[in-house]
Every structure is written in structure tokens, then in C-alpha cells.
Amino acid sequence: MTTPERLLALFDHEMRENARPDGPGARVERDGPVVRQSGGDDSWSAVVWSSPTLDEDGADAAVAAQVAYCLARGVTSFEWKLYDYDRPASLGDRLRAAGFVPEPPETLMVAAVADLPADAGPPAGVELREVHDEAGVRLMAEAHEAAFGTDSSWLRDRLLARLAAAPEEFFGLVAVADGVPVSSARLELYPGTSFAGLWGGGTHPAWRGRGIYRALVAHRVRTAAARGVGYLQVDASADSAPILARLGFTALATTTPYVYRIAP
């Protein structure tokens, strides 16, 4: 049986230290004690890993180097994705002192695909549709806007780019009720690793608490199993974490996005 400690070590090695680009035009590179992603019009720019040997003497210099790198390239917003086991223990304080602002923390949760229930279906009146084209992606973005009340054009554009660049790695779902998209989710496939990621799942307020989120998870579990994925990983919000725990996911760490924004 794989212990939580071994699972976390595997995740850290495969998904952080050896991260792969998350979209067209993005690149991942090692810069001294950190691994960062950058590049691409719609790419997420971020530090995704820092060496466990990073100490207090080197932390401020490492943070300053990444700020300088992004400033030199005109990046207006970038993130340092900090995990609670990262070193030094004062790294969060040092990021804040450098101008980074912490956003709400999330829980890193992992489960073996073989151990997860996969038989939950959507509630009455809701249809789950797999997304394979531009029309489906637009429905996903509409569902995201309905769930969170924010403009989701950035998500639409990013997903369209990913669908065009690597359709074999794209798997999206949209939940539709009475012809209206009310929730959406996706399975992020990471070839060459033991993991796939669950993302999305936000639901229109009028449809929350009816089992849509659980059905979206179950559908993606079946898909992951069919594709030979070993583990599913989620950066879970406070709303999602209790549901995922009941389904069999284990909390391994807390991750906090520290974001540096540059005024235009």
C-alpha cells in the first residue's frame, strides 16, 4: 500500500520538480533552486517548485530573481505556488515582503483511481455531455460564468488553444439542464506521469447540492481508468474538499497561490 508520504513524494517529483507545460506556447525551465513556467499568450506564469535545500540565506535572492525575470518580460501577473512543506518555513513571509499577495489556500488531495467510486450519475433533468469541439468549450465557459458570476473569456480562449494543440490530452464535461449549461469540469491528462488532474466543477447556485459535482467526478474516474491513469489529483477548494474526502481522496498538503501583480 502506498503511504501518503510516498504519494506526496511522487507528486512532488513528477508534477512539480519535473512539471510539463500546461498549454501551447508555454515552457517549463529550471532556474537555480526553482522550476517555473512562462511564455504563451494565455499561459499561466508561475514558480511551481522550489528546492528543499532552499534556505533562509538564499530565499530572498530566489524570490527577487523571479520578480526580475517576469518584470523584464512584461508579465503583468505571476504566481509562486507555495506548498506547506516547502522550505524555508519563512518563505510565505518573504513572498509577502516582496509584494506577493496570498490568495485562498487549497488542499492538495490525491486518490488511486482504482479505489474511487465510479457509478454516480447526474440528477434527474441533468445531462452530462463530453466536450470534443469549439461549441462544447463555449458551453463550458458559459457554465463557469453561471457558477462564479465572472467573465470566463480567458478560460474559453485557453481551453480552445489546448483543444487545438493536443486534442488527445483534452477531456471536458458540461452539465446541461433544460438546454442551459449549469456546471463544467475537465480531466487534465499528463502523459508520462502517474497522475491526471481534476479541474472545475463549479455549479450554478440553483443546482448546487443535487449531486452534479459527484457525477462529474465519477465520469472522469471512469475516463481515467480507461486511459490507465494511476492517481487523480485535485487542488480542492473549501467547498469541494469534504465531498472529495467522502469519495476517498486523501489530503496531502495545503497549497497557497502567492500572486504578484504589476499595474499596467
Query: Is it true that the peptide bond before 105 is cis, omega within 30 degrees of 0?
Result: no
Q: Extract the runs of DSSP E, i.e. beta strands, from 93-141.
A: 101-102, 106-112, 126-131
Write down the pTM of the prediction.
0.94
The predicted structure's pLDDT at residue 25: 82
What length does the chain have? Answer: 264
User: Above 90 in pLDDT, residue 76?
Assistant: no
Homologous superfamily of domain range 117-247: Gcn5-related N-acetyltransferase (GNAT) (3.40.630.30)
For 22-72, the pLDDT digits (tens) are: 878 889 999 999 999 987 555 688 999 999 999 999 999 999 999 999 888
CATH classification code of 4-107+255-261: 3.40.630
Task: Select from 43, 52, 48 the least CA-distant residue to 66.
Answer: 48
The predicted structure's pLDDT at residue 24: 80
Q: Do domains 4-107+255-261 and 117-247 have the same CATH topology?
A: yes
Which sequence spans correspond to the domains of the chain?
Answer: 4-107+255-261, 117-247
Average pLDDT over the chain reads 94
CB atoms within 10 A of CB 113: 22
